[in-house]
Structure 1
Amino acid sequence: MPLKDLLEAVFLKYHHTEFIGNDPVGFARRYSNLQDREVVSLIAAFMAFGRVEQIRAKTEAVLLLLGERPFKQLISGRFLPEKLENFRHRFLDGRTLAVLLNNLGLTVKEWGSIGLCFRNCWENSKGDVLRALVLFRRYLAGSFDDWGMVLPDPEKGSACKRWFLFLRWMVRRDEIDPGGWDFIPPSSLLVPLDVHLHKVAIKLGFTARRSGDIRTVLEVTEALRAYDPEDPVRYDFSLTRWSMAGFPPV
């Protein structure tokens, strides 16, 4: 089967809500209010590491803190480290989570919303999504310098999977991704490379690189762009599901 036909067959089979299951995109899809969706999408994306069950449980715990209107809670409340001292999600502890939530609240108060802040970063980046992320990260990082793996720095060469997952959810809009941001074209997105997508990318010849870093992300995205230059990341969800299923015939 020609590769283009295979990609489309996998997309047609797996790009449906019935395959969402425990995928964290489900958190983003809960919220019809754009400001709430931005907050929850960012939090859910940054919690997306470790076992699926743990990701869901810890994300639910954070969303419980934020209540029914996460956006309003961010701008009206302050999160005290001592109240989160029992929280831990692998390398994310309660102290760091409190700093992240408080910095996010300050960013929202300054700009009006996450989307307005990111739009400014995007415009100043002149269409370079990596540069936009570098600028946006500075707002969330603030003066705190002990982020470790919690807040990936696009300038340091990591795959930045969670950043690109967040952007996929906010920029694309279809049966899976809720969207909401029309100021970034889907053609500018990069794939959120996890072990499952990396595995299928090697299998299909999109990359020969074994290191899951930004160079591999760029290679895989460029390969997919040859088949859909306007929306290369649309294949991400379906290819990942196909890989997780063990590559059954389609």
Structure 2
Amino acid sequence: MLKKDKELKELLDIESNSRNTNFELSYEKPDPLLVAKRQNDDFAILLCALFAYGNAKLIVKFLDSLDFSLLNKSEEEIEKELKNHYYRFQNSADVIAIFKTFRRLKNENNLEDLFYDGYKKDNCVLEGIDFVIQKIKLKANYSSQGFDFLIGNPLKRDKKGFIKEIGNAPYKRWNMFLRWMVRDDNLDLGLWKNIDKKDLILPLDTHTFNVSVKLGLLDRKSYDLKSALEITNKLKEFDNLDPIKYDFAIYRLGQEKII
């Protein structure tokens, strides 16, 4: 390992270790994981991740306004309770649709099993994400700009059927959800046991993208899936078994404008 890489690993190890504490999650330092940690339902936790775009404080405020127990209630109750709920690109019809869809899926499937059906093909989390997105779309029988933005679209593939690295978004919120569910420490939940944390991909957002470029973890200028994979592969040089343990620290370094 080059000297500069050793120094960078040392910096990131210090940052990730010091931030691996519940004190990092508070209303003064808002993060959607703050709300997700209070849930005991995989589908509720996925909702926390999918709505996690925009200003962190506003994300937490919106998530706090949701009654996740509606996932266990009737569709009529969902419509009644959420008729005035909206968030940025999602109007109330979109919010109602996602709750109804998750309720239907929850009644038929275990979310980890659903994800594993796709993942077990080559131990690929992207295949798992793609599989679940397609199941959600099928079960929803609903489409709108807001709904499709929230869920994401199936991943683009080449002529041989392989997922494209260039041409796909980083699927940040899905990869963040997987970090929460698979990793197990003071921050992440570790509720899923069938997915290996070494297969996780960095949840690339503007903060982690900019910090990664400045630190030399990435020399590409495109914000896409290929960049997320390149940073992940670089982090594997620092910890091959748990590369995404550095994600939260990298994110905070950008959010707090330290780097």
Residue of structure 2 equivalent to 1:163: 174
CA distance in 2, matches of 1:114, 1:104: 10
Note the residue ranges of structure 2 that are not aligned, 5 or more in a row. Answer: 157-167
What amino acid sits opposite 2:169 in the alignment?
S
CA distance in 1, matches of 2:192, 2:51: 21
In percent, how many aligned pairs have the same letter? Answer: 27
TM-score (norm 1): 0.86
Residue of structure 1 equivalent to 2:128: 132
TM-score (norm 2): 0.84
Relative distance call for 1:200 and 1:145 in structure 2 (3 A) is same
1:136 shift after superposition? 0.6
What amino acid sits opposite 2:23 in the alignment?
E
- Identify which of 6, 9, 12 aligns with 2:14: 9
Does structure 1 retain, via aligned residues, the 8 Å contact 2:119–2:126?
no
Residue of structure 1 equivalent to 2:229: 218
Q: Say yes or no: does 1:118 pair with 2:129.
A: no
Note the residue ranges of structure 1 that are not aligned, 5 or more in a row. Answer: none
Residue of structure 2 equivalent to 1:228: 239
Q: Say yes or no: does 1:198 pair with 2:203.
A: no
Matched ranges for 1:31-180 at <5 A: 31=39, 33=40, 36=41, 38-62=42-66, 64=67, 66=68, 70=69, 73-78=70-75, 80-81=78-79, 84-111=82-109, 113-123=110-120, 125-142=121-138, 143-146=141-144, 147-156=147-156, 157-180=168-191
- Name the Cα RMSD after superposition: 1.9
Higher RCO (C-alpha 8 Å, min separation 6): 1
CA distance in 2, matches of 1:30, 1:87: 20
Does structure 2 retain, via aligned residues, the 8 Å contact 1:152–1:158?
no
Q: Say yes or no: does 1:209 pair with 2:220.
A: yes
Does structure 1 retain, via aligned residues, the 8 Å contact 2:178–2:200?
yes
- Identify which of 30, 54, 66 aligns with 2:38: 30
Q: Secondary structure at the match of 2:149?
A: coil
1:153 shift after superposition? 2.3
Map Cα deviations across residues 173-210 of structure 1 (whole Å, 9 max, x no partner).
00100111010000010011111111110011111223
What amino acid sits opposite 1:121 in the alignment?
G
Aligned residues: 235
CA distance in 2, matches of 1:202, 1:50: 21
CA distance in 2, matches of 1:81, 1:139: 22
What amino acid sits opposite 1:55 in the alignment?
I
